Amino acid sequence: MTQHSNEPPGAGATTLVANRETLERLFIRPENAEARAALIKYMEQILFGLHDFLGRHVGITQEASLKSLSERFVNTRISEHPARKLSDVIDALIEEIAPHAVNVASPYFIGHMTSAIPYFMVHLATIVAALNQNPVKLETSKVVSLHERQVLARVHRLVYGRSDAFYDLHVQRPESALGCFVEDGTLANMTALWVARNRLLSSADGMAAVETDGMAAALSARGIRRLVALVSRLGHYSLGKSAGVLGIGNKNVLPVPVDMENRMDLRALVRMLDDLSRTEPETRVLAIVGIAGATETGTVDPLPAIADICQKRGIHFHVDAAWGGPSLVSEKYRHLLAGIERADSVTIDGHKQFYMPMSCGMIYFSDPSAMDAVAYHARYINRIGSVDLGIRSLVGSRAATSLALGGALDIMGARGYALLIDHGIELARALAAEIRRRPMFQLITPPSLNILTYRLAPPELARRLARSAPADRPPVNAAINQINIDLQRLQREAGRSFVSRTTLATPWGETAVLRAVIMNPFTDMAILNEILDEQEAIYRDELME
């Protein structure tokens, strides 16, 4: 918004004022070569300025700087006049923000579920913004809603693999919903439980319905005291949050013990179900949740057996495959998720293993009419019988993320994605072998998919732990825990590489573990060895007493 309106936007003038003339230039589409050149110049600045940053930094600097950084962001006034031109905003982002952001694209950044994205994703995101459609209703999206239905059908087919006839019938049928886009896995899980809740407590039986009458009225009409959902104790915290939001109560998400492989313990599950029906006749089981790629350990629950149990008892079977879902593209490893096709609902995050930019949550349903349980209409939107995708959706207005995912599926193909999936799984196995090989480390949870946990356990301490009587173990284990807590922090602060940390229950008690998530295609065994070497060096140089 410069003073001289015949200059290319953002160029030249130093005094910025807001007036009608400059305002119009901010909205006008580029009609001449000069204006076009300016717009492209900004894109170059964004793509390559950031690129140079991303090539240099992991970006997590020492804890101490957080305070000093936070002191830079205390200007709480919107300036009266324009404060910066676009080029200065871009510069500031590159110079002030990016160096202190987190370089999730680094192959040394193996601690999180946010990784490098293919370059074309940035272009696809640009298209989504430039078209600026709103799929909540046909009148602000039109064909984009039809395209979105096709994308949803493609992923549904990946999960459920129904017949041609099934997809031909439902892909564009306004009354059918194979699933929907939501912001992330949390809202996907919430949508699954919302649907399950409403189907269990609907007005079909002539009694108060939860959606219209509320939880208290719907439960009391049926003589139910509480709903519960069962999930392994490795379940994502969003399940508890969802139950909290939905009026079910987060303590009613009951944690099921896990077996030695961190998979849901089926005998424990059955025992809990039997106990509930014996001792709490007024409790109803809303859903059982199987995990396909646990956040902390990457493990996959025994889905076929859980499906059997749910089927026999008439319980909604939800699978949280936020992480693991896209592994289904791999011919080689899709068997690891066998049973997922029997789920009533499945959560998948596109911004995880479909390598989409933030954010692209999705929820899928086996029954194309399941989402009728959450349909909303209004006078001015989502009229009955319309194709408006906002009818069956937690959110209203949203970006047409499906355009980006659809493009990505075309550009990558199943095999392109499978290369990424296979690389992650196989490299995680190689890392596990390397950790087993190194005397300084203990593998805590081997990878089912591409996540593993381990810890640095100095041989002397490890031996002492192994030899101790159970009662003497806690202080030894606590000492190892502290080493790993410090180690992870020091490595993060050093800024060259990053693994994350969590706490798992092990036979030694609460155990601080390092967590590696292998998804960056440029991460290889050489890099992983560097990361392990660095950890040994940090221990030797800074932590060993």
Rule CB under 8 A: which of 434-473 touch a second copy? none
- Print the SS3 string covering 229-284: EEEECCCCHHHHHHHHHCCCCHHHEEEECECCCCCECHHHHHHHHHHHHHHCCCEE
Cα of first residue to Cα of last residue in the chain, in angstroms, is 60
CB atoms within 10 A of CB 479: 15
Q: Which of 13, 39, 479, 494 binds a second copy (CB under 8 A)?
A: 39
**Residue closer to a second copy, measured from CB, 268 or 414:** 414
DSSP letters along 453-480, please? Answer: EEEE--HHHHHHHHHS-GGGHHHHHHHH
CB nearer to a second copy: pick between 118 and 257: 118
By CB under 8 A, which span of 125-133, 435-443, 455-463, 479-487 interacts with a second copy? 125-133
132: Cβ contacts below 8 Å, ≥ 6 apart: none
Site for a second copy in 276-305 (CB under 8 A): 295-296
Residue with tokens 């240099």: 56
Q: Which of residues 168-207 bind a second copy (CB under 8 A)?
A: 168, 171-172, 182-187, 190, 194
Q: What is the CA radius of gyration of the chain?
A: 26
CB of 492 to a second copy, least distance (A): 8
Q: How far is the CB of 286 from a second copy (least distance, A)?
A: 11
- The least CB distance from residue 339 to a second copy, in Å, is 21
Query: Which positions from 311 through 330 interact with a second copy, judged by CB under 8 A?
Result: 329
Which residues, 6 or more positions from 89, have their beta carbon under 8 angstroms from its beta carbon? none
Give, for 70, the enclosing helix (H) or strand (E): helix 64-70
Our finding on whether 410 is near a second copy (CB under 8 A) is yes
Task: Assign residue 298 a region (left: φ > 0; alpha: ψ between -120 and 50; beta: otherwise).
Answer: left
Least Å from the CB of residue 113 to a second copy = 8
Which of positions 84-123 make contact with a second copy (CB under 8 A)?
A: 84-86, 89-90, 93, 96-98, 100-102, 104-105, 111-112, 114, 116-123
Burial tier of 29 (Cβ tally within 10 Å: 0-12, 13-18, 19+): exposed
Secondary structure of residue 179 in the 3-state scheme: strand
Chain residues 512-531 in contact with a second copy, contact rule CB under 8 A: 515, 520-522
309 or 412: whose CB is closer to a second copy? 412
Binding mask 60-79 for a second copy (x = CB under 8 A): xx----x--xxxxxxxxxxx
Does residue 412 belong to the site contacting a second copy (CB under 8 A)? yes
145-164 residues in contact with a second copy (CB under 8 A) are 146-147, 149-150, 153-158
- The span from the CA of 350 to the CA of 26, in Å, is 33
Q: How far is the CB of 200 from a second copy (least distance, A)?
A: 13
Give dist(CA 314, CA 394) in Å, integer: 25
Interface residue with a second copy among 255, 407, 474, 495 (CB under 8 A) is 407
Q: Which helix (H) or strand (E) holds 215?
A: helix 215-222
Cβ proximity to a second copy: between 358 and 461 the closer is 358
89 vs 27, 38, 40, 82, 94, CA distance in Å? 17, 15, 15, 11, 9
Nearer to a second copy, 84 or 438 (CB): 84
Name the 3-class secondary structure at 285.
strand
251 scored as a contact of a second copy (CB under 8 A): yes
211 contributes a contact to a second copy by CB under 8 A: yes
**Applying CB under 8 A, what is the total number of residues that bind a second copy?**
187
Q: By rule CB under 8 A, what string of x and - marks binding of each residue 364-393 to a second copy? A: ----------x-xxxxxxx----x------
Contact segment (CB under 8 A) with a second copy among 35-43, 301-309, 442-450, 529-537 equals: 35-43
- Find the binder of a second copy among 6, 14, 27, 279 (CB under 8 A): 27
- Are 477 and 509 in contact by the 8 Å Cβ rule? The answer is yes
